[in-house]
Amino acid sequence: MENLRVMLDESDIPTHWYNVVADMPNPPLPPLGPDGKPVTAERMLAIFPETILAQEMSGERWIPIPEEVRAAYQLWRPSPLCRARRLEQALGTPAKIYYKYEGVSPTGSHKPNSAVPQAYLNKVAGIHRLTTETGAGQWGSSLAFAGQMFGIAVRIYMVRISYQQKPYRRSMMRTWGAEVFSSPTDMTQAGRSILAAHPDSEGSLGIAISEAVEEAASRADTKYALGSVLNHVLLHQTVIGQEAKKQLAKIGEYPDIIFAPCGGGSNFAGIAFPFFADNAAGGRKGKPARLVAVEPTSCPTLTKGEYAYDFGDASGYTPLMKMYTLGHDFMPPGIHAGGLRYHGDSPLVSQLFHEGLIEAIAVPQRATFEAGVQFARSEGIIPAPESCHAIRACIDEALACKASGEPKTLLFNLSGHGHFDMSAYDRYLAGELEDFAYPREAVAASLARLPKVAA
């Protein structure tokens, strides 16, 4: 019987996180303050503890993972690497398809890989209360869970449309002891001003971030935690790619192409950056592995955005980051992949994309659910709507291999399961799911309001 799953021992849980900054051809551009100058550590310390800030600014290639964090990772890591044999057969492709399955975590996605160290590093810094945002609910659940692990109270601003679409995500967060509110709320200045202008606002990650940052900055006992975008979050997620490399090496394989969904960039970085380290050293197969970020056509940050300094949130509370952006007040259409409804992208992912070292493509909503259903019907697992984006791209590549006869090795990050997204699947199966056209005018209007920065 052929092995379809490659497992690692718990002792194989990585001991270090990999910092891509050490291998980037050019140093990352600094975040800027309102005066256009690099933001001071003091300003960042209002919302992040020093323990996190040190990781955010680090240029060290390897950063040790504290034993307490590895011990918590043991609850679900190492995650399996699987061969999608039945999908290959269904497609009739000569390509080999592998996926790294992050849905085995307690919350059902990759997000606890960063929630756990963030809660731990706050605890070490003496912090007992955190605020955060959540789109899909995956990050909020993960921080609620991690807060519970380390005795930290967590308050979550959940994007209104997801709050309505995913009632059981709220229940999960409350089960792990967190407070959850539908954002925009009337509890913050940011929320109140959005509600005054748009009482029916569906909310967005940018708005929820503003609310969470505003609260953290206004309370001495509270810090803020972000589920993606920032360097330290991407760093934590590299346990995914490090394990995948080890698992593929065990069976003598190496990927030609890697796909991952891309919202703020953390799961993409998590699986892709450890392979980028090989690319930076010339590539394992004599050429670099192609690293492909997959985003929705309705919120196409990398593929249609502008590479510019912009705020990470809707109200302009965060420092300015150089990133691909659709404009900080862009309101993405209400697609079901709530985790991909973000106007910006990680500065590290953005810079690598700008320098041509990684790739990006955009796919429409219905085609992603079609891919998710095909995956579920061959491999069994029902993927999160975000993950369906990577599956779509991977299936398209496998079909191209069928046409060309090339037996490429493909790997994608199955970043989460879709057990709390079944209403979206219901709508797809009933033929009610819509494709949103690229919102050209809304993006253009939002980009026209980008902050002016001399650089």
Ligand X SMILES: Cc1ncc(COP(=O)(O)O)c(C=O)c1O
Q: How far is the CB of 238 from ligand X (least distance, A)?
A: 12
84/271 with CB nearer ligand X: 271
95/226 with CB nearer ligand X: 226
- Name the site residues for ligand X (rule: CB under 6 A): 109, 135-136, 138-139, 228, 261-268, 339-340, 384, 386-387, 415-416
Taking CA 329 as the corner, what is the angle to CA 327 and CA 334, rounded to the nearest 5 degrees?
A: 100
324/408 with CB nearer ligand X: 324
CA distance 62 to 123: 22
Q: How far is the CB of 102 from ligand X (least distance, A)?
A: 8
123/236 with CB nearer ligand X: 236
> What are residue 436's DSSP bridge partners?
none
Q: How far is the CB of 258 from ligand X (least distance, A)?
A: 14
261/439 with CB nearer ligand X: 261
CA distance 41 to 130: 19
Q: How far is the CB of 172 from ligand X (least distance, A)?
A: 13
CA distance 166 to 148: 21
Measured in degrees and rounded to the nearest 5, phi and psi for residue 362 equal: -120, 140
267/279 with CB nearer ligand X: 267
Q: Which one, of 1, 5, 2, 122, lies nearest residue 380 by Cα? A: 5
- Contact by Cβ (8 Å): 254, 409: yes
CA distance 357 to 273: 11
159/401 with CB nearer ligand X: 159
419/449 with CB nearer ligand X: 419
Q: How far is the CB of 383 from ligand X (least distance, A)?
A: 8
CA distance 42 to 35: 15
Taking CA 210 as the corner, what is the angle to CA 207 and CA 213, rounded to the nearest 5 degrees?
A: 150
Q: How far is the CB of 191 from ligand X (least distance, A)?
A: 21
135/255 with CB nearer ligand X: 135
10 Å Cβ neighbour count for 196?
10
Q: How far is the CB of 312 from ligand X (least distance, A)?
A: 12
Q: How far is the CB of 94 from ligand X (least distance, A)?
A: 28
Q: Which residue has the tokens 């330290």?
A: 232
Q: How far is the CB of 2 from ligand X (least distance, A)?
A: 29
Question: Closest residue (Cβ) to ligand X?
Answer: 339
Q: How far is the CB of 14 from ligand X (least distance, A)?
A: 18
93/238 with CB nearer ligand X: 238
